[in-house]
Structure 1
Amino acid sequence: MNKKLTIGVILAAVVLVGGYSFLNNQPKNTTGKTLNVTVQNTITTLDPNFADDVGSNWAETQTLQGLYTMDAKGSIVAGVADKVVKPTKNNTVYRIKLKSNQKWSDGSQVTANDFVASAKRQVDPASKSTRSNHFKDLAGYDAIRKQGANINTLGIKAPDAKTVEITLSHPVPYFNFILANQLYPINTDKVKEYGKKYGQTAATTVSNGAYQIKKWNQSATTWQFEKNPHYADAKDVHYQTIKTTVVTDATLASKQYLSGKVDEAEISGSVLTDLKKTNAADIQSKQKGRVVFIVWNSTDKIASNTNFKRAISYAIDRDVLAKQTLADGSTAAKSIIPSGEVSVAGQDLNHGLDLPFDKKKAQDYLKQAQSEIGEKKLKLTLNMADTDAYKSLGVYLKQRIETVLPDVTIELNRMPLNAEISAFNNRNFQAGTLSWSTDYNDPIDFLDTAYSGGAINFTKWHNKAYDNLIDQINAQGEANDKRYNLEKKAAALNNDLNGVTPLYQVSNVHLLNKKVRHLNYPVVGYQNYKYAE
């Protein structure tokens, strides 16, 4: 989810409205140096070592820059690095020189150690970062995480202030994406000064990207991105200010856009039906590399039962969920891997995989689960963030499952996003919905959600056959059919065993003022306002 852990706030909402008398209004032109936008997600942190939700990762894109970065079209280019380098020693060693004019928003110099310290802090077990797994391919990672080796044995160092040297345990075909979207620097002086408060408010956040954040704390629903005067390419950043407001209701967001109050609005759900008739040219809809799924607590008597999870999976009609309930371009999941990411022998990796609705199988598996659990009436509490987006998904899952499986009761437990993340981290849940989006184009990022050694495996589910497949995949250093076929086998095994239960693949939908140019929505990553004109 890189990936970004997005605890369902991005789930599309079904919005029932009586009419759209406002649809014929046209948005005003962009207001000079200011871009007004609405988003559906708050920012929980701007500490890059702990940002594991979609709102925070989207904000990172605006405020931070890695050694590499992505251009307006989503291709990898040099960021803080002087150039994109070719790795040596069987593609395991990256020796990267920094540009000389890279500064933080406080005017201090960005150094190689800012990257080294960031990686070590994130991997260090003492930090309890859910993002540690992003650097699992660095030499020494397993020894540090599993055997308690010294953090300084991690395969990253700074021979001098302008050089970062990274050593991998094996070749990684997508590592350039890690350097662009995962390895962000931290300002080591400010981390020492602020400690755990680093990145928790605008006052304790520093940026090395195009923008710095203002008027923000963790409970904020409005904030601003202000152009970073110390950003090396500031002359190419066209908007001085990005004024941001959290609007989770798609109808309200579209009203604000159509009345000219905002230039970009993140929307979802049935509001699209009328908008396609009246404002089709304003709609930007792109399939995202993001999948929504259910996680199960492996220590819970009911949620850990494989046949119970199979029953739930077969009870869900994912086509109805995507096309009728969400109705925003989202598609039924075929596996935990998003479709359109990679191909095997000329066909999409998900070709031949499926997660069908089958009432008889659902009921047969439930009978087996009831016998194994020793109870006839089974109750499942499903955690969900307390947003409009979650309400539609929750209503569908409860109605569908209880209709197909009358002996099952689904209790929806809605809570603030931060509380839900905390519940996952503390394993204080029975089951819950979340989504994961990637920062690189390889399925392993999604398969890790059910891998026992994965940092984002909240279920703590463990299956020897599945883990063995993941280990085989990690041993493959090239992006080829051998690697992808192993990933397909792992996806098929998860479909059956429900380490996690895939639901749908997200569509990213925005209304965008036609006056705004060069603001793109990539499959991997997020729109970057530094390219907007």
Structure 2
Amino acid sequence: MQTTKKWVTGVGLVALGLVLASCSSNSSQSSQKDKTLHVTASQAIATADPNKADDIVSQAAIAQVMEGLYTTNANGKVVPAIATKIVKPTNGGKTYTFTLRHNAKWSNGVKVTAADFVYSLQRQVDPATKSQEVGHVAEIENATAITAGKKAVKTLGVKALGKYKLQFTLTQKVPYFNYRLATEIYPLNQKFTEKYGNKYGTSSAKTLSNGPYVLKAWDGTSDTWNYTKNKYYYDKKSVHINHVKVSTVKTNSTAQNLFDSDAVQVTQITGTQVAEAKTGSLKKNLQITKLNQLYFMPWNSKRTITKNADLRRAVSYALNRESLVKNVLKDGSVAATSLVPTGNTKNPTTGKDFNTDTGNLYPYSPTKAKAYWKKAQASLGKKKLTLQLLTNDNDVNKSVAEFVQAAIEKNLKGVTVNVKSVPLTNEISTLSKGDFDLATLSWSSDFQDPVDFLNKASITNSVDFGKFDDSQYEGLIKTITAGTQSKTARYQTMQKAAKLVAEKQGVTPLYQTASAHLVSSKVGGVHFTLLRDALYRYAYWK
């Protein structure tokens, strides 16, 4: 479970922007490459250590300077990187054997080898590392036991079969493991990393890159940093921009002002900014991308009132999700129709989207809301009740909470909702203690598979803060994660789980988030995808 990284504030993923062309448009190709792109981020990097990074900004930075066995192309498709090809697993889907390219090098000129992956993964599961990202490798044989201190680090199911031969052994078949390899699992050079120990990744000088760029001018606390083209990168000819400078810009209005003045070529916007851009002069510059991220409400199933399924059904039917995304968020987000984001998964037989097959499991119906509220009143023996809605204190989250509050009080006469807004870390702490009625949260996943969202209502998952525990649902989750079903059968089981959790309102989805960016016509190759922000290696000046 990746709590800090996965929980996002509602603004969406990190606001990235490409900036400040200092040369004229008729520059030579060489000088074009030397033009610095000034990029904005929503907050500073916390760490450049891929074994420890658990926030979105740090992960985004690492994706620019590190490369794993696979990566993603400009359109978000998984493609080979350090591995020479996308391999087909053997041993019932549990064994992956990779041949590594011989020309991959670290930014100090040392070759990248299979041993670098073995070292990195062993370091990640080692309890001494205290990684918050062990979930990235949990499916690898013995990873969980090692992290719990029950087995030796060297028993991890990752082996170097030669200098350029690497083998992974998983505990079971994992349909989404290619995404892990492309976005979460990276090598580390043992000699360089051990030179700095726990200080590795705390500054650019203490970080070694093997990707398209090298991290520069970051002291571990600064609000600015640079990406400089890695001269040892095996595919450096395809990297068209040599220098990127990143500056932290925390307000979207400031970022848009930079864009309007042509100081920024790409930046993220939200809310009314998006609505204005859709119809204004910036319409041609607007890119809206659905994210693999869902905003939902957990319920406290340990409290008599909020464990009442009829009350939860009443609340769900009271929420006009279409109105929420169109009139409150206004940023391209879409109303949730299941616990799984649209675009996450397709039917392996028909190619239809997961949510096309489920249909809208969370429709707006004031009539049904009132009917279920009457049932809840009867079973609870209460005509009136007060609920506390816990949320973090980001402006977007506050607006969503106010919408939920108003909708409940309007459609369920007798229900009073008090909103409690606190910093995100405090909210997670409060949820972990079970000291809440209902709350609003956002979950973002690094891979495309419904299980990472369906798990949010599973008692086996540490993110099930509300402790929803349904034996029928747990049976479905167990079957989904066992790795024994065919693709079609597993898909059908996930469909059943999505419908069951909607019926019982284990958690209540609200909307799927989207990122909205303004992209200058001067810049090409900037593509935002379901899983991640734009990778600068694909960007170029037109």
Greater shift in the superposed pair: 284-293 or 218-227: 218-227
Query: 2-side partners of 1:153 and 1:519: how far apart?
Result: 42
- What pairs up with 1:327-476 in 2 under 5 angstroms? 327-344=330-347, 346=350, 347-351=352-356, 352-362=359-369, 376-384=384-392, 386-405=393-412, 406-415=414-423, 417=424, 431-454=438-461, 456-476=463-483
Alignment of 1:105-124 (within 5 A): 105-123=107-125
Q: CA deviation at 1:504?
A: 0.7
The 1:59/1:401 distance shift into structure 2, 3 A limit, reads farther
What is the Cα deviation at residue 339 of structure 1?
Answer: 1.5
Deviations 1:312-346 (A, max 9, x none): 43332211111111112211001121113333353
Report SS of the residue matched to 1:520.
coil
- How many angstroms does 1:372 deviate by? 7.5
Distance 1:401 1:193 in 2: 57
Structure 2 counterpart SS, 1:278: coil
- Rounded to whole Å, the distance in 1 between the matches of 2:432 and 2:110 is 34
Cα distance, 1:266 vs. partner?
0.8
The answer for unaligned runs of 5 or more in structure 2 is: 14-18, 24-31
Q: Which residue of 2 is the match for residue 234 of structure 1?
A: 236
- Cα drift, residue 449 of structure 1: 2.6
Maintained 8 Å contact 2:293/2:513? yes
**1:179 counterpart residue number:** 181
Match in the other structure for 1:10: 11
Which of 37, 42, 47 is the equivalent residue of 1:45? 47
Which stretch has the larger CA shift, 1-10 or 72-81? 1-10
In the alignment, does 2:324 pair up with 1:317?
Answer: no
Q: In the alignment, which residue of structure 1 is the partner of 2:165?
A: 163
Counterpart-to-counterpart distance in 1, 2:375 and 2:87:
55
In structure 1, distance between residues paired with 2:113 and 2:497? 40
Call closer, same or farther: CA 1:522–1:11 in 2, change over 3 Å: closer
Give the Cα–Cα distance (whole angstroms) in 2 for the partners of residues 87 and 208 of structure 1.
25
Deviations 1:125-171 (A, max 9, x none): 66665533333432335655789344433322223443321012333
> Using the alignment, how far apart are the partners of 1:253 and 1:153 within structure 2?
49
Distance in 1 separating the partners of 2:506 and 2:123: 29
Once the two structures are superposed, residues 377-426 of structure 1 have per-residue CA deviations (whole angstroms, 9 ceiling, x without a partner) of 43424131x434334323323333344445332323232x5555666677
Write the distance in 2 (CA, Å) between the matches of 1:466 and 1:490: 6
Indicate the residue corresponding to 2:105 in structure 1.
103
Q: Which moved more, 1:147-156 or 1:87-96?
A: 147-156
Q: Is 1:303–1:380's contact at 8 Å kept on the other side of the alignment?
A: no
Q: Which runs of 5+ in 1 are unaligned?
A: 13-26
Q: Which amino acid aligns with 1:524?
A: L
Measure, in 1, the Cα distance between the counterparts of 2:319 and 2:462.
Answer: 28
**In 2 relative to 1, CA 42–394 (structure 1 residues): closer, same or farther, beyond 3 Å?**
farther
Query: How far has the Cα of 1:528 moved from its partner?
Result: 0.5
Alignment of 1:49-88 (within 5 A): 49-88=51-90
Cα distance, 1:520 vs. partner?
A: 1.4
Matched, 1:286 2:293: no
Go from structure 1 to structure 2 and tell me whether the alpha carbon gap of 1:297 and 1:202 turns closer, same or farther (over 3 Å shift). Answer: farther
Q: Which amino acid aligns with 2:336?
A: A
Kindly provide the amino acid, as one letter, of the partner of residue 492 in structure 1.
K
Q: Is the 8 A contact 2:390 2:427 kept in 1?
A: no
TM-score by structure 2 length?
0.83
| Number of corresponding residues | 517
Contact 2:127/2:149 (CA < 8 Å) preserved in 1? no
Answer whether contact 1:132 1:455 (CA < 8 A) is retained: no
Distance change in 2, residues 1:380/1:418 (3 Å) = closer
Please state whether the residue corresponding to 2:355 is helix, strand or coil. Answer: coil
SS in 2 for 1:100: coil
Looking at structure 2, the residues matched to 424 and 290 of structure 1 have their Cα atoms a distance apart, in angstroms, of: 19
The answer as to whether partners of 2:408 and 2:415 remain within 8 angstroms in 1 is no
Note the 1:484-523 alignment, pairs <5 A.
484-523=491-530
2:530 maps to 1:528 = no
Q: 1:313 to 1:284 in 2, by over 3 A?
A: same
Q: Secondary structure at the match of 2:6?
A: strand
Residue of structure 1 equivalent to 2:27: none
8 Å CA contact 1:40, 1:247 repeated in 2: yes
* CA displacement at 1:511 relative to structure 2: 0.6
CA contact (8 A) 1:294 1:501 kept: yes
Task: Note closer, same or farther for the CA distance 1:212–1:311 as it changes in structure 2 (3 Å cut).
Answer: farther
Partner secondary structure for residue 524 of structure 1: coil
Amino acid at match of 1:410: N
Answer 1 or 2: higher relative contact order, Cα 8 Å, separation at least 6.
Answer: 1
Report the RMSD for the aligned CA atoms in angstroms.
3.5
The CA deviation at 1:460 is 5.0
Q: 1:265 Cα shift?
A: 0.5
Aligned to 1:18: none
Aligned-partner residue type, residue 487 of structure 2: N
